[in-house]
């Protein structure tokens, strides 16, 4: 019988840093850009969502112009990103709500809020969940909220960092409470990189995984 010594999240973070290199946390992107870009990224590839975002920015002079445009016009602009009708309606609703509440379309006021307050505001926007809110907090506002995408979720479950039965929503809080705030950015980026390069959803490359010795899932995949 083979036994695995499960690693703490800090140990996993250190090993991934050795493999993929240290990262410096930069929070310089505009929060509205990140918010809309993350909505566009849902259920599609980075390439497709990137094209849709570039098309949207090129087609409108401002986010206020996007908010006042017909949803159908927005949908045509972002069709390369998939699910364009759903995403167009959501983008329009989000921008309209921010403009109504703030008087203009900006999230800069969240800089003065605590992370919990900022997250609460973002998650009250139409269709905004933990992942989208965390992306805005982490990549724009300098707040160490951990986004849990499909890669982070999959790798964390396989490593036993969270219970295999945990939902992706629950995973957010379970992982957040384990990781040092200063390591959130690097851990997020490295877990995604590891998921893309090694820990694939199907046929993970366990024989090349630097975390194999601490991964209870590696034996199952090795046998299959």
Note the pLDDT tens digit of each residue in 11-60. Answer: 999 999 999 999 999 878 999 999 999 999 998 888 999 999 999 999 99
Fold of the domain built from segment(s) 9-20+147-223: Endonuclease Iii, domain 2 (1.10.1670)
Both structure tokens of 166 = 């945990």
CA dist 146 and 182 (Å) reads 11
Q: Are 137 and 120 in contact (CB under 8 A)?
A: no
> Mean pLDDT across the chain, nearest whole number?
93
For residues 30-56, one letter each, b for 16 or more C-beta atoms within 10 angstroms of the residue's C-beta and e for the rest, the string is bbbbbbbbbbbbbebeeebbbbbbebb
Q: Give residue for tokens 């927005």.
A: 74
Residue 167 has pLDDT above 90, yes or no: yes
pLDDT of residue 94: 98
- Prediction pTM value: 0.91
Note the pLDDT tens digit of each residue in 128-158. Answer: 999 999 999 999 999 999 999 999 999 999 9
pLDDT of residue 49: 94
Both structure tokens of 32 = 């509205």
CA dist 76 and 81 (Å) reads 10
Contacts made by residues 56-65, CB under 8 angstroms, sequence distance 24+: 62/105, 63/32, 63/36, 63/95, 63/105, 64/95, 64/99, 64/104, 64/105
Give catalytic status of residue 131 as yes or no.
yes
> Above pLDDT 70, what percent of the chain?
96
Catalytically annotated residue among 87, 92, 131, 183 = 131
Note the pLDDT tens digit of each residue in 90-116. Answer: 999 999 999 999 999 999 999 999 999
Q: 31-139 belongs to which homologous superfamily?
A: Hypothetical protein; domain 2 (1.10.340.30)
Domain borders along the chain are 9-20+147-223, 31-139
- How many Å is the Cα radius of gyration of the chain? 19
């Amino acid at each position: 019988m083979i036994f695995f010594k499960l690693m703490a999240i800090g140990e996993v973070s250190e090993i991934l840093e050795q493999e993929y290199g240290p990262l410096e946390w930069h929070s310089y992107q505009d929060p509205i850009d990140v918010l809309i870009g993350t909505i566009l990224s849902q259920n599609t590839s980075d390439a497709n969502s990137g094209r849709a975002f570039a098309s949207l920015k090129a087609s409108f002079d401002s986010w206020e112009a996007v908010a006042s445009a017909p949803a159908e016009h927005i949908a045509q602009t972002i069709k390369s990103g998939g699910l364009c009708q759903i995403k167009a309606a959501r983008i329009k609703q989000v921008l309209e709500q921010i403009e109504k509440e703030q008087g203009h379309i900006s999230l800069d006021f969240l800089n003065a809020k605590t992370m919990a307050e900022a997250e609460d505001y973002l998650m009250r926007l139409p269709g905004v969940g933990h992942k989208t809110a965390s992306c805005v907090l982490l990549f724009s506002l300098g707040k160490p909220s951990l986004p849990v995408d499909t890669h982070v979720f999959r790798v964390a479950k396989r490593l036993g960092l969270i219970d295999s039965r945990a939902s992706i929503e629950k995973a957010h809080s379970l992982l957040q409470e384990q990781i040092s705030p200063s390591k959130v950015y690097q851990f997020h980026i490295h877990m995604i990189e590891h998921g893309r390069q090694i820990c694939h959803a199907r046929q993970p490359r366990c024989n090349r995984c630097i975390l194999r010795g601490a991964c209870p899932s590696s034996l199952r995949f090795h046998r299959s």
